[in-house]
Amino acid sequence: MTESADDPTDILREVFGNDAFRTGQREVIDILLAGRPALAVFPTGSGKSLCYQLPALLLDGLTLVISPLIALMRGQVSSLLAKGISAARLDSSMEPDETEAVFRELESGTLRLLFIAPERFANAVFTERLARVQIAMMAIDEAHCISEWGHNFRPDYLKLANLRRRWGVQRVLALTATATPQVASDIRAAFDIEPDDQVQTGFRRQNLHFFITPCHAKEREALLVSRLREAGEGPTIVYVTLQQTAEALVGRLSREGFNAKAYHAGLTDEWRKEVQDGFMSGRFQIIVATIAFGMGIDKADIRSVYHFNLPKSLENFVQESGRAGRDGAPAHCEILACANDRIVLENFVYGDSPSPQALRSLVEHLMLRGETFSISRYDLAGTKDIRPIVVATALAYLELDEILIPTGSHHAGCRIRLLQPEHRILAGHDPERRALIESLLSQAKESGFRMTIDLERAAEKTGTTITAVRETLRQLAELGDLTVQPTHLRQDYRRSPDVAADIPAVVSKLRQLFLRREESEILRLRQVIDFCETGDCLTRHLLSYFGESMEEDCGTCGNCLQKKTSSHSLPCSVIDDISVEDLLVIQALISEKHGALRQARQMARFLCGIISPAAARERLLTHDAFGLLAQVPFQTVLTQVESMLLT
């Protein structure tokens, strides 16, 4: 790979329209152009993306940008195309013809930047086609996801380092806005980055002013209403922990005369998009959201970010607060801090951790099979009622330990949409071909405006092969008779021989991994409490957590303005007991005999408001009992349910 003779400063001015680099940008770009990997730890909104966009124009070959944020991909691709830069994305929302068009552009050698999610590497077709392309650089956004000790660990990131070595890519840019010294060390180790090639510009953004307001839970709604009235106009995000809280709070704000909307994972994709678009365009000023909102969103004029509930980590607080004030104007970031929130957040940690029995069941399912097999992560999560992140984490570690060897992937089904009446599609084919197509279409099941086909079943019913079924559908799509979208992705594996005898050891190792994760998440929550209770400068406290120092107090945070000098305990209301009325609801729930709530742990998670794959599939999340005991410690709920199931 050779570097173009163009000067980065000229490209900055002529293509990106900027006269000067921001702090740290030129240093990162020079490291990459010199052929070395780099780590950029820049605060949110400080121009991380330029650090790979500009070098991409100076290097021969493709720059591969890996990001978990579809919104970020879409926004950056649109911006780059508007500048005349050849860029594209591949994500799960795209139609097959759109995906194929990107592949053609990729293989033609004209594409400069390709944006993908880390999960895309599980697709064998993608990796095979990518192997034919010269990769000049890999840029890995949200790089803290690779660290087991990071606040947002994603198992698919673990594989990126191996892929980079396999493809011989020298230039890697790891980017993050939130990395403690431990996490930064993990990132450097994974991608062979020298300590001197870590560029950290400092987490402090002087226009962000931090405040902590200790309060009882019953005071918070009125307190938030007061804050919003005082603040006046200005785009505002209010973060909450639970979906129910988002809906209830929007109801209260609407009654108080505010134009507010809720945003959370329980809403449809279409409604979430409408809410997001309305907030971005300014149709309404206040959005009340779970952490599902904000990733990849770039709205420069957000004036306030409130955490109605405690954030689950300081990394989350910095990341979510960092969405304010990107235009450089002053912005208000405040936590309405109540110690009772700790129970809800701890419940999510303990409830999400898989039990030893669940882990053993998962490992046995993977180990006690033939030497070669395929699985669907989604289906496996549902049948074992283990969250998809747990399944993905277990698979990633089994792959890294070479217990399971990935051999590719395939789609077990597809969605089709007829573009012609069936009699028109059948016309013009010889009798044998017509019979095959007619039999194939008869296998399709109605699903909304489209039809779904199980490829294996269709091949069996038509007396042909899966390959022949796929080829027939492809040809019909080329004729303009229908559209085809692959579905039900399955990963193909080969199991290492003689591993079945080690099942207890594998389960034990995975159990220890999840226990360490559990401990680290509880510790991060404790650090949030410490931050909310400190009498020190809040900005100084945050900088210290991320391994930085500050000579003087900021003078603009709540503690500095109030001249606090000593720590204080957060208010905590009496922890809820399980009432007689609650017990009657639980007994009624048991008598309903829901398949997703057969086990005590399943029911305890449900009562604590923790979403599980099985409960979601049975459409139980709107049940009156969901989240009934969200304010009661998980272990207390579990013990109560166990005793009731035994009687």
Q: What is the pLDDT of residue 125?
A: 76
Distance separating alpha carbons of residues 571 and 339, to the nearest angstrom: 6
Q: Average of pLDDT values for 230-245?
A: 92
- Report CA-CA distances (Å) from 317 to 107, 313, 486: 42, 6, 38
Contacts of 276 (CB under 8 A, 6+ apart): 263, 293, 297
Q: What is the pLDDT of residue 244?
A: 87
75 or 15: which carries more pLDDT confidence? 15
DSSP structure string for 432-463: HHHHHHHHHHHT-EEETTEEEEEHHHHHHHHT
Q: Average of pLDDT values for 26-30?
A: 97
DSSP structure string for 28-66: HHHHHHTT--EEEE--TTS-TTHHHHHHHTTBSSEEEEE
Determine how β-strand 482-495 pairs with β-strand 404-418.
antiparallel
Q: What is the pLDDT of residue 4?
A: 44
Helix axes 455-462, 466-478, angle to 10 degrees: 100
Which range (148-157, 224-233, 503-512) has the least confidence? 148-157
Q: What is the pLDDT of residue 192?
A: 95
Q: What is the pLDDT of residue 447?
A: 58
Q: Average of pLDDT values for 122-136?
A: 84
Which range (128-142, 191-205, 484-498, 614-628) has the least confidence? 484-498
Q: Average of pLDDT values for 455-479?
A: 87
- Report CA-CA distances (Å) from 68 to 91, 141, 156, 228, 296: 10, 8, 10, 32, 9
Q: Would you tell me how many other CB atoms lie within 10 Å of the CB of residue 355?
A: 14
The model's confidence at residue 5, banded by pLDDT at 50, 70 and 90, is very low
Distance separating alpha carbons of residues 54 and 94, to the nearest angstrom: 26
Mean pLDDT of the chain: 89
pLDDT exceeds 80 at position 295: no
CA 568-573-574 angle, to 5 degrees, is: 125
The model's confidence at residue 448, banded by pLDDT at 50, 70 and 90, is low
Q: Would you tell me how many other CB atoms lie within 10 Å of the CB of residue 386?
A: 23
Q: What is the pLDDT of residues 108-123, one digit of tens each?
A: 888 999 999 888 887 7
pLDDT exceeds 70 at position 498: no
Q: What is the pLDDT of residues 373-415, one digit of tens each?
A: 999 988 898 888 888 888 888 888 888 888 888 887 788 888 8
- Check: pTM over 0.85? Answer yes or no: no
Q: Is 512 exposed, middle or buried (0-12, 13-18, 19+ CB in 10 A)?
A: exposed
Q: Report which of 31, 113, 104 is spatially closest to residue 64, judged by C-alpha positions.
A: 113
Q: What is the pLDDT of residue 378?
A: 86
CB 262 within 8 A of CB 244: no
pLDDT exceeds 90 at position 333: yes
345 or 439: which carries more pLDDT confidence? 345
CB 152 within 8 A of CB 315: yes
Q: Would you tell me how many other CB atoms lie within 10 Å of the CB of residue 392?
A: 19
Q: Tokens 């993608």, residue?
A: 126
CB 74 within 8 A of CB 90: no
- Max Cα separation, the chain? 88
Q: What is the pLDDT of residue 545?
A: 93
Q: What is the pLDDT of residue 190?
A: 92
Distance separating alpha carbons of residues 391 and 378, to the nearest angstrom: 9
CB 279 within 8 A of CB 287: yes
Distance separating alpha carbons of residues 414 and 485, to the nearest angstrom: 5
Distance separating alpha carbons of residues 233 and 308, to the nearest angstrom: 19
Tokens standing for residue 95 = 């139609």
pLDDT exceeds 70 at position 449: no
122 or 64: which carries more pLDDT confidence? 64
Q: What is the pLDDT of residue 461?
A: 86
> Residue 212 forms beta bridges with which residues?
335
Which range (44-53, 131-140, 569-578, 603-612) has the least confidence? 569-578
Q: What is the pLDDT of residue 641?
A: 95
- Report CA-CA distances (Å) from 551 to 207, 531, 535, 555: 18, 19, 17, 12
Q: Average of pLDDT values for 34-62?
A: 93
The Cβ-side half-sphere exposure at 266, using a 13 Å CA radius, reads 22
Which range (235-249, 255-269, 500-514, 617-631) has the least confidence? 500-514
Distance separating alpha carbons of residues 349 and 346, to the nearest angstrom: 5
Q: Tokens 């017509």, residue?
A: 434
Distance separating alpha carbons of residues 440 and 461, to the nearest angstrom: 8
Domains of the chain: 8-200 (3.40.50.300), 208-340+530-561 (3.40.50.300), 580-646 (no CATH)
Q: Report which of 71, 60, 10 is spatially closest to residue 33, judged by C-alpha positions.
A: 60
Distance separating alpha carbons of residues 496 and 402, to the nearest angstrom: 7
The model's confidence at residue 289, banded by pLDDT at 50, 70 and 90, is very high
Q: What is the pLDDT of residue 210?
A: 98
Q: What is the pLDDT of residue 566?
A: 79
> Residue 89 forms beta bridges with which residues?
115
Q: Counting runs of H as helices and runs of E as strands, what totals does the chain give?
A: 27, 18
pLDDT exceeds 60 at position 361: yes
- Report CA-CA distances (Å) from 217 to 178, 222, 342, 476, 576: 29, 10, 12, 60, 12
Q: What are phi and psi of 424, to 5 degrees?
A: -70, -35
Tokens standing for residue 539 = 């900005």
The model's confidence at residue 256, banded by pLDDT at 50, 70 and 90, is very high
Percentage of residues in the chain having pLDDT higher than 90 = 48
Helix axes 431-442, 466-478, angle to 10 degrees: 100
pLDDT exceeds 60 at position 227: yes
